Chains A and B, each alone.
Chain A
């Protein structure tokens, strides 16, 4: 039971790192990232391949994975210069899918759906088998703490104010002399780096990675963590990540009580549950999601509908 708890906490840690990175990108800067799975995969495969195929030491491979996430994030953020936020979101989704497709199809390198086996582990041989999972949990927790401190520092620093200005209105920020693009690229790259780190930690923890883990669904789990916790609020999203993981894990046990559901159906049911919860939370938490500053009057240009909404104009 302790072993299970430790492993669950470790997985929650991966979620927390991803959620903190997303909060940096979206909650604070307003840049939508649906390609979280892509950065996660990039980190996992970079570190995994470097150790398993080229024999690099973990201590070198993991930082390289972080760097890969940083560079990929920076490059993608360059596109935000010319794109509306929702179209930028589509591009990030595309990045995620392309990463997954490469992992799936370049199977001579990545082993494709067979899965890449990774033997290397950080601190291998330094602790006995009983203790190692706890050591790994501490490692993951330290990265969570590091991500938390970095994101929180950025939030409180003058940079944070600039980021919020960009989120509210990038034209105004530009006029004020803030270099919007540079800030965006920096923030997105830092977010990408942490996502890469989460991927590398995941890879060396499970020691067997395959493309189906990195479906766009991952993005939904992380988005849900951030939304549940409250966008822009770093403490909230840690709790959010815990709640999402609890739902994911908790629903596993439904199968123990209802035997008509096989594993396939059960996993489908979990996704339905998560998706429905996300919709309900978004619906109930009016205004909790995006700080929509644009005023809208009844039947505004934005929504284009009046008839249904006369009372709350």
Chain B
């Protein structure tokens, strides 16, 4: 249970240049688990995940994958180390076909590309069917599958998800979390930030609650779901 963390951010301060948005945040993901970071809008969830993905540099603190420090590395270098980030919006190449999108997914690791493509197609059969369609012409749900499929093309060590359920219809949200579970069952650790706290925590092993740029609470997902204060503060409106 207490395996060493595969991804660990400790004491991270970061923001968009004009001062920090997150102040000394520490989170970790262990092999094979789903971890969710919840919190209200503006708590700094997105800043945290973008910093881990290399889109922002931490001003202070460290980010490590395994034993290797990656804080401050540019995004492509982070990607090459097996961290696959799925952004919240604009997460597919709209002008490229589905097949080309998946090919770009495999950019950093060309080995056994076909084998992985088969795996992704097995996970999302519809992508095989529509492989010659431009991603921009797909439905929202199918675009989300392309975004996931792209990330899975490298057999990542950690999957980072920024609000995967944002903008999806309620039925799609459920489907979305099924997809996350399915991806996790292939052995990939998942770290996601979510507004949709209840459903996200239901499939998670652990959770962090962020508020005002700090981690306010960290506990097993089940405990967080039971926690009255939490459900009133952050989950209430979402039930």
A/B: CB atoms within 8 Å of each other? yes
List the interface of chain A (C-beta within 8 A of B).
Answer: 295, 297-299, 301, 306-307, 310-313
* Contact, CB under 8 Å: B74 / A307: yes
Report chain A residues within 8 Å CB of B76. 306-307
The secondary-structure label for the interface of chain B is loop
Closest 8 CB pairs of A and B: A306-B74, A295-B16, A307-B74, A313-B57, A297-B16, A297-B56, A306-B75, A310-B74
Q: Are B57 and A295 in contact (CB under 8 A)?
A: no
The interface on chain B, measured as residues whose beta carbon lies within 8 A of the other chain's beta carbons, has a size of: 13
Question: Does A313 lie within 8 Å of B75, measured CB to CB?
Answer: no
| Among A299, A307, A313, contact of B17 (Cβ-Cβ < 8 Å) | A313
Q: How many A-B contacts if CB must be within 8 Å?
A: 33
Closest Cβ–Cβ distance, residue B205 to chain A (whole Å): 30
Known: A310-B57, A313-B57. A297 touches B50 (CB 8 A): yes
> Which residues of chain B come closer than 8 Å to A312, judged between CB atoms?
17
The reply on B207 being an interface residue by CB < 8 A is no
CA distance in complex: A178, B16 (Å): 31
- Residue of B16, B18, B72, B75 near A299 (CB, 8 A) is B75
Task: Across the interface, name the chain B residue whose C-beta is closest to A308.
Answer: B74
Q: Which residues of chain B in 1-57 are interfacial with respect to chain A, using CB atoms and an 8 Å cutoff? A: 16-18, 50, 54-57
Given A297-B17, A297-B56, A299-B55, 11 more A-B residue pairs with CB atoms under 8 Å apart are: A295-B18, A297-B55, A298-B56, A298-B75, A306-B54, A306-B55, A307-B76, A310-B74, A311-B57, A312-B17, A313-B57
28 A-B pairs in the complex with CB atoms less than 8 angstroms apart: A295-B16, A295-B17, A295-B18, A297-B16, A297-B50, A297-B55, A297-B56, A298-B55, A298-B56, A298-B57, A298-B74, A298-B75, A299-B55, A299-B74, A299-B75, A301-B90, A306-B54, A306-B55, A306-B75, A307-B76, A310-B57, A310-B72, A311-B57, A312-B17, A313-B16, A313-B17, A313-B56, A313-B57
Q: What A residues does B16 contact at CB under 8 A? A: 295, 297, 313
Closest-CB distance, A307 to chain B (whole angstroms): 5
| CA–CA, A299 and B72, complex, Å | 13
Give the distance in Å from the alpha carbon of A190 to the alpha carbon of B72 in the complex.
50
Q: Tell me, in angstroms, the Cα distance from A299 to B78 when the chains sit together.
A: 13
